[in-house]
Amino acid sequence: MPVPIPRQRAIPAAEGGQAAAMPDASPDGSGRTGGQGGPGTTGSTGLTLLLVEDDPGGSLSLPELVDSAGRPIRIRTARNLTEVERLLTDDVHCILLDLALPDGPDAAHGTDRTPADADELTPLRHVLRLAPGHAVLALTTSGDAERGARAVRVGAQDYLFRDELDGRLLSRAIQYAVERKRADAAQRQLTESRLRAQENARLERGLLPTPLLEGSPLRFASRYRPGRSRALLGGDFYDTVRTPDGSVHVMIGDVCGHGPDEAALGVELRIAWRALTFAGLVGDELLSTLQKVLEHERANEEIFATLCTVDIAPDGRRAGLCLAGHPSPLIARPGHPAELLPYDNGGPALGLLPRARWPRQQVQLGGTWSLMLYTDGLIEGRIGQGNQRLGQDGMVEMVRRKLAAGLRGDELLEAAVTEVRELNGGELTDDVAVLLLDRETGRGR
What is d(CA 148, CA 354) in angstroms, rounded to the nearest whole number?
Answer: 75
Helix (H) or strand (E) holding 195: helix 167-207
Q: What are phi and psi of 306, to 5 degrees?
A: -90, 155
**Sign of torsion, CA 96 98 104 105?**
negative
Residue 207's pLDDT is: 66
The answer to whether the beta carbons of residues 436 and 220 sit under 8 Å apart is: yes
Residue 34's pLDDT is: 37
What is d(CA 402, CA 378) in angstroms, rounded to the nearest whole number?
Answer: 15
What is d(CA 86, CA 101) in angstroms, rounded to the nearest whole number?
Answer: 17
The answer to whether the beta carbons of residues 435 and 372 sit under 8 Å apart is: yes
Mapping DSSP to helix (H, G, I), strand (E, B) and coil, where does residue 258 land? coil
What is d(CA 422, CA 180) in angstroms, rounded to the nearest whole number?
Answer: 43
What is d(CA 230, CA 201) in angstroms, rounded to the nearest whole number?
Answer: 12
CA 274 to chain centre: 30
Q: What are phi and psi of 29, to 5 degrees?
A: 70, 15
The answer to whether the beta carbons of residues 122 and 100 sit under 8 Å apart is: no
Provide the residue-wise pLDDT of the chain in tens; the chain has 445 residues: 443 433 333 333 333 333 333 333 333 333 433 333 446 455 556 789 999 987 655 556 777 788 878 888 888 888 888 889 889 888 899 999 999 887 554 444 444 444 433 478 999 999 999 889 899 999 888 888 999 999 999 999 999 998 888 888 888 888 898 998 889 888 988 888 887 777 666 656 656 788 999 999 999 999 988 765 545 567 899 999 999 999 999 999 999 987 778 888 999 999 999 999 999 999 999 999 999 999 999 999 999 999 999 999 999 999 999 999 999 999 999 999 999 999 888 999 999 999 899 999 999 999 999 999 999 999 998 887 778 999 999 999 999 999 999 999 999 999 999 999 999 888 888 889 999 999 987 544 4
Count Cα atoms within 13 angstroms, Cβ side, for 40: 17
**Sign of torsion, CA 191 193 197 202?**
positive
The answer to whether the beta carbons of residues 50 and 127 sit under 8 Å apart is: no
What is d(CA 358, CA 376) in angstroms, rounded to the nearest whole number?
Answer: 20
Count Cα atoms within 13 angstroms, Cβ side, for 80: 12
pTM of the complete model: 0.59
Mapping DSSP to helix (H, G, I), strand (E, B) and coil, where does residue 223 land? strand
- Which is nearest to 135 in space by CA: 87, 102, 183? 183
The answer to whether the beta carbons of residues 311 and 320 sit under 8 Å apart is: yes
**Sign of torsion, CA 253 255 256 257?**
negative
Residue 141's pLDDT is: 87
What is d(CA 137, CA 395) in angstroms, rounded to the nearest whole number?
Answer: 64
What is d(CA 269, CA 294) in angstroms, rounded to the nearest whole number?
Answer: 7
